[in-house]
Amino acid sequence: MNKTYTYNFPTPIRFGSGVISELADYLKKHNLKRPLFVTDGTVAELSFFKKIKSDVERAGVYVEVFTEMHKNPLKSDVLKGGVVYQNAKCDCIVGIGGGVALDVARAIVLRVNHKRDLFDYDDLIGGDKYVTEDVPHFITVPTTSGTGSEVGRSAIISEDISKKKRILFSPKLMAKIVFADPMLTMELPKFITAATGMDALTHNMEAYVAKGFHPMCDGIALEGIALIAQSIETATINPDIESRSKMLLASLMGAVAFQKGLGIVHSLAHPLSSVFDTHHGLANAINLPYGMDFNYGGFEHRFDKMAVALGLGTNAGSKVVSHLFELNEKLGLPSKLSAIGVKEEDIDELSALAVADFCHPNNPKPVALKDFKTVYKKAL
């Protein structure tokens, strides 16, 4: 206990059924008259999005909508959004959607008053030092329970040609408020609920075992795991407001907890999205049991605590991995990479990308290239 630490949990969150109806009043109270709504093309067509927009417009607020984004969002998407913001003379940004829409919204928040090349701000090359200007008022509205991007302070955006993922990061990019309304997640289809839910479980579990001394994140992660264990099956198979509420909170808690770091599972998952365009949550779901199996030896005490949160009882850390396999099966998700088209000859390329990924340095155990190859082979 002879080191010093900074802990930070700052985002105001309005949570509960119907809180989205407060958005118009919030905008008026803060004298915001021309929001840019950033969402993806699918959400833009849904009735709840149209209702949010019309409710705000009825309050005398002009709404501009931006939806031009790729599934793995590109720099050019962000630049276009910045132009729309400026041309429409917007005065704030409301990100509405899953991780992609919220990442694009957050990157536009940065872009508006920061005109260097977008990737000069890449956190991995120290770019946050250039984030010196004010940024627009930023509001987030999650519509999935997975990434927890609504409480994040970074955006993952890919280069247009190479598709390499870059991270824009700054505490300035945090939302001023989150409206987390579980009613907006009620219509999510089964696969998206299961896959994004497993992403949230992966965030909580990887954060809990990640390196570093952060008892506050650890406590949040364990409770996040417990909420998911209580609700992911119901939310996926027979959703009700209670299960949807618990999943929405747990996903947000996972993102708070992973300030501490992520680990091997996300590093195994990211290359699958880059090479095979695999859904991020699905990629995590498949790799979670294998990554946790890699981490188990030497961290049995941590697995015992996760086992309690998962409802497996005391001294049951050794049951966690098999429980994760069973959970995937119950949710209708695969537990093998071959199910998403990965072949033995792909493993070298995937492993090279995984070892270059930014997540595994926080894994509790070091992960070398040969370890990635071994784990991918097991998962094949």
Q: Under the rule (CB under 5 A), what is the footprint of Fe ion? A: 199
Q: Of all residues in this chain, which one has the CB nearest to Fe ion in the complex?
A: 199
**Nearer residue to Fe ion within complex by CB, 142 or 317:** 142
- Could you tell me if 67 and 10 are in contact, meaning their C-beta atoms sit under 8 angstroms apart? no
Among 291, 361, 301, 355, smallest CA distance to 324 is for: 291
Q: Cα dihedral sign for 140, 211, 335, 201?
A: negative
Distance separating alpha carbons of residues 201 and 2, to the nearest angstrom = 32
- Could you tell me if 234 and 317 are in contact, meaning their C-beta atoms sit under 8 angstroms apart? no
Helices (H), the chain: 23-29, 41-44, 47-58, 75-87, 99-113, 190-209, 215-237, 241-257, 264-276, 280-296, 300-309, 320-330, 347-355, 369-379
**Nearer residue to Fe ion within complex by CB, 61 or 252:** 252
DSSP H or E segment with residue 31: none
Structure tokens at 312: 């497996």
Q: How far is the CB of 258 from Fe ion (least distance, A)?
A: 8
Distance separating alpha carbons of residues 26 and 29, to the nearest angstrom = 5
Q: How far is the CB of 254 from Fe ion (least distance, A)?
A: 8
Q: How far is the CB of 272 from Fe ion (least distance, A)?
A: 12
DSSP H or E segment with residue 142: strand 137-142
Q: How far is the CB of 142 from Fe ion (least distance, A)?
A: 14
DSSP annotation of 192: H
Structure tokens at 93: 């940004």
**Nearer residue to Fe ion within complex by CB, 229 or 265:** 265
Q: How far is the CB of 267 from Fe ion (least distance, A)?
A: 11
**Nearer residue to Fe ion within complex by CB, 254 or 317:** 254
**Nearer residue to Fe ion within complex by CB, 85 or 258:** 258
CA distances from 219 to 196, 225, 256 (A): 22, 10, 11
**Nearer residue to Fe ion within complex by CB, 107 or 262:** 262
**Nearer residue to Fe ion within complex by CB, 150 or 199:** 199
154-158 and 165-169 strand pairing: antiparallel
Compute and round to an integer the Cα radius of gyration of the chain.
20
- Could you tell me if 248 and 301 are in contact, meaning their C-beta atoms sit under 8 angstroms apart? no
**Nearer residue to Fe ion within complex by CB, 123 or 199:** 199
Among 53, 170, 160, smallest CA distance to 109 is for: 170
**Nearer residue to Fe ion within complex by CB, 40 or 199:** 199
Q: How many residues does the chain have?
A: 380
**Nearer residue to Fe ion within complex by CB, 56 or 284:** 284
Among 138, 75, 71, smallest CA distance to 101 is for: 71
Q: How far is the CB of 124 from Fe ion (least distance, A)?
A: 17
